Structure 1
């Protein structure tokens, strides 16, 4: 039970820790100053929402997220969320593939080499379907978290004044609601895909509480570290590199590789959500459907990573926020 619970915990955590989170961009965008309570609130909300979604997926014996959405939101609103999730998963997968190419350009490798490598590895991964994804997550996600936490703790200890929490003004607490809600789309897709795989209720507790504690703890340390370099963040496209600016170049090299793995696991989790959504419509094996998906997304990567992030993410943000306002509270009271 414990081993399986940890496996689902790492899958859920890996879904959340994408390139935006690992690079510090999402942390700084949503939190920043006066956000200790906001991060703690996010951690609690993430546990509750994940628990409700996973338990509902188990009770409904759901094979994809559509059934779960209908139970949570009703059929009318579920249709809107379904379309948004499909769009979200497709577009963010394309952005992640492009990001894989852009990241390897740091090592003076061609943009198309990184894209091709990302696509090939994704297709190979889904030869083993969910087992392949969880096996990769069991290795990559802990490595990413451990390296990130170690770097942040060392940075805090070596900084003037050491680690400290400001418990004064906490005016940014509403950001916890937005951050949680905007990250529920991929979480719903992934949790709905594993509901039938859960064998013991203890796995649910381990997966949801464990992932919430990890994400809350890492977010808190990360945010406090970014506050120390706030004046320099405008100079760096990736906030993490502002923290690493005084470290040896080999460490920047290692973290760039880890950022690439975060991009890869995010793309893989998105594809898992798409496969679970459409597997009743197509009888082809997972690796073949993955090949079709990544091939269809390759033309999208010609726009470049920065352009895709700037245009599509802002568009998705607007669409998500509208639906978040309509349905955020509903997961707490299934119907």
Structure 2
């Protein structure tokens, strides 16, 4: 569990989820600055009973239940509350990197983080674009991952994510749509859907209106859907995006695959803002976070809703149990060495947008 942005609600949510009996199953490895977590507990009005270890203590026997590794990298007294800062962004980058390295080395089964702020992270690491690019640059996987937004009612998959809207049409290709459909089907089957029903949102108004409003839906998206159907993937589309979520919420589909970030995010946050989880899939371990942001406007007030955070922890734990069926070797590199490497200011890598 990586502590998120210090200026927002992440410290409070981190403390709340540790204190929450429905989410803390005594298996959390908490990564960040103890001072920040302590302030989060004070803001939230909760008590946390958690062993805290410094890097120098990681060479010995580790506690059997949940514990925290204090990276001592984010003194909250030196950072502004309610806004992005270099210090908050740097700590977020380091905490996330440490969690990824620990999981990739087999020392953890899943990665969960409370909300980051990408602007703050770019202040600290100018090439930071989004989580997927950073994950790829950190663990060098065989394949890149994709983001899914998860609610009990519906899933949302994306063909593109953190890129300018002006660049979306140029990134929509038949192969990319097809690959996204295959990954969506694979991921949802992995978590228990027998044959997930996937609605594919159109890119253009009225699905192109017979090529009157654009050709991508007919020339790129439809052929990809037909290819997926040939593989027995239950894909339907392209469906006009102003009605696709209506049909999904009526029970016609299990997931909606959208062409760009806000095409799906607006609908998903209207449906369940305080419940939604972002799942970053297709890596050797699940990566989860609440789907909302850092909420600078209510930082420090102790009123942040725990729902999405609790759901994210529980989904990560559920997926980790599934992943355990495939054993992963534990690296010989110690947690102390991994976390020291995560804090090294020279480890700045080029990342890319999804």
Question: Larger radius of gyration, structure 1 or 2?
Answer: 2
TM-score (normalised: structure 1): 0.25
Q: Which has the higher contact order (CA 8 A, sep 6+)?
A: 1
Structure with greater strand share of residues: 2
TM-score (normalised: structure 2): 0.24
